[in-house]
Structure formats: structure tokens, C-alpha cells
Amino acid sequence: MIWKVNSWDFTLKKGNIRIPPQNKENKEQLLLEKFAISHGLMLAVQLDYCETQLQKFIEKLAYIPEDMKTKGKMTTEPRQAVRYIGELYDLRHRVLLESEYMETPEFFWNREELEGLFDNVRRHLELKNRVDVMKSKLSLCIDLMDNIQEALTHQHGARLEWIIIILIASEILIELLRWKGATVWAWLWGEEAAEKSDKLEQLNQEDSDPISRD
């Protein structure tokens, strides 16, 4: 094993003990090393926040598969489903597009020692593995929401089809009543209802005929 020994000038005094750098270059190098380490820690904190948000989102979606299993239907409103999808894409954008979890920042490109230090911090905090796990979870959540949106669209289309069928049936019934009201009333509700329908129709015709009123 190769040992590396560093030496510093120091003085003894009362109070806090500090080891000053030997020269200005060492001081600047120390600041750069602190920056490299703190940048890696900052990315770890950001990723931890995103992981927490994703876990909360997964817990928020837990009721959807449960409703599908127990009730055989989805209780999620279409607008709420769109909000969920928006949250997912926003989280994926922050993790995969606006971060430096997988790529080395441009600042370290021409500073090999700092780049190595930054990579060591990133490797020690397992940023790459954590991002890969988040990718898998995000993909599963997006697939679930896509299926839910497709099912809601189909459900909405089926509801519209039934509304159209009811409107067409109502229009047909109204036309039948206008064409042969007494016959339809007798067929649906009996002769007595048909007679009342005829009397109402005659009264309506008399009220609408100006000659008969004169």
C-alpha cells in the first residue's frame, strides 16, 4: 500500500484550531474540491426530493387498481386523470432532462481531478442506480395512467353513444305520436288514454284554427 503524507505549517494557540493552506493555489484548489463535493451532495438532495414526490404520487394512485379490482370500474374523473399525467411528466422532466445525475457538468470537463472527485461522490451516493429505479417506476406509472386515460375515453364514448340512442328513440316516439297519436296511446296505455289523446288533439286544433274561433 502506498501512503501519501501531507504536511502543513501550524501554530498552537488557545481557542479554535485551524490549519491554514500553504499558499494561494492550495486555497483555491481546496475551494474547488469543496465545490465538487457540495455539487454532488446537492444532486443527491434533489434526487431525494424527487424520490419522495414520486413515492407520494404512487401512494396517491393506489386506490385506482383497488377500485378496478373490487368495483369493476374506475371512479377517477377525466380531469383528475389529466392532472395526474401532468404531475408525472413534470417529475420525469425534472429527473431526466433538467438534472446532472447521469452526465458530468461542463465545469468539470477541463478539470480532471475535480471530475474524478465529483464522480466518486456521485458513485458513493449511488445516484445512477437511484435514477434507474426512478425511471422504472415512472415508466410503470405512465403506462398505468395511459391505460386509465384510454379506458376513460372509451367510457365517455360509450356514454355519448347511449345519449345519442336515447335522443333518436325520443325523436321517433314524438314523430309517432304526431302521426298516429291515438293508435300509439292505445297501444301503450290503453283505449281510455287514446280517447283522452284524441280530445286533447281536437282542442289544440280548435285553438289553433282562427276560423273556428270566429
More confident residue, 210 or 32: 32
% residues pLDDT > 90 (the chain): 0
Domain of residue 131 covers 24-161
42 domain residue, yes or no:
yes
19 domain residue, yes or no:
no
104 domain residue, yes or no:
yes
Sign of the dihedral defined by the CA atoms of residues 189, 190, 195, 198, in that order: positive
Mean confidence (pLDDT) of the chain: 74
79 domain residue, yes or no:
yes
Smallest CA-to-CA distance from 54 within 130, 156, 155, 107 is with 130
Find the mean pLDDT for residues 45-70: 85
Q: What is the pLDDT of residue 5?
A: 42
List own/partner pairs for 46-52 with CB under 8 A and 24 or more apart: 46/99, 47/95, 47/99, 47/101, 47/127, 47/130, 47/131, 47/134, 50/91, 50/94, 50/95, 50/134, 51/130, 51/134
C-alpha cell at 161: 353513444
Q: Is the pLDDT of residue 136 over 80?
A: yes
Three-state secondary-structure class, residue 139: helix
For the segment 175-188, what is each residue's pLDDT rounded down to a tens digit?
A: 766 665 555 555 55
**∠ CA(30), CA(32), CA(35), 5° rounding?**
110
User: Cell numbers 384510454 label which residue?
Assistant: 150
195 domain residue, yes or no:
no
For the segment 145-183, what is each residue's pLDDT rounded down to a tens digit?
A: 888 878 777 777 878 888 898 888 888 777 766 665 555
Q: Is the pLDDT of residue 201 over 80?
A: no
**Is pTM beyond 0.75 here?**
no
Number of structural domains in the chain: 1
Q: Which residues, 6+ apart, have CB-to-CB distance to 96 below 8 Å?
A: 131, 135
Amino acid making up residue 137: K
14 domain residue, yes or no:
no
**C-alpha pair distances (Å), 114 with each of 19, 32, 110:** 22, 7, 9
Q: What is the pLDDT of residue 86?
A: 86
Sign of the dihedral defined by the CA atoms of residues 99, 101, 102, 108, in that order: positive
Sign of the dihedral defined by the CA atoms of residues 165, 171, 172, 177, in that order: positive
192 domain residue, yes or no:
no
Sign of the dihedral defined by the CA atoms of residues 6, 11, 12, 15, in that order: negative
In this prediction, residue 4 has a pLDDT band, given cuts at 50, 70 and 90, of very low
Find the mean pLDDT for residues 67-73: 77
Q: What is the pLDDT of residue 2?
A: 40
171 domain residue, yes or no:
no
In this prediction, residue 207 has a pLDDT band, given cuts at 50, 70 and 90, of low
DSSP annotation string for 165-188: HHHHHHHHHHHHHHHSHHHHHHHH
More confident residue, 49 or 192: 49
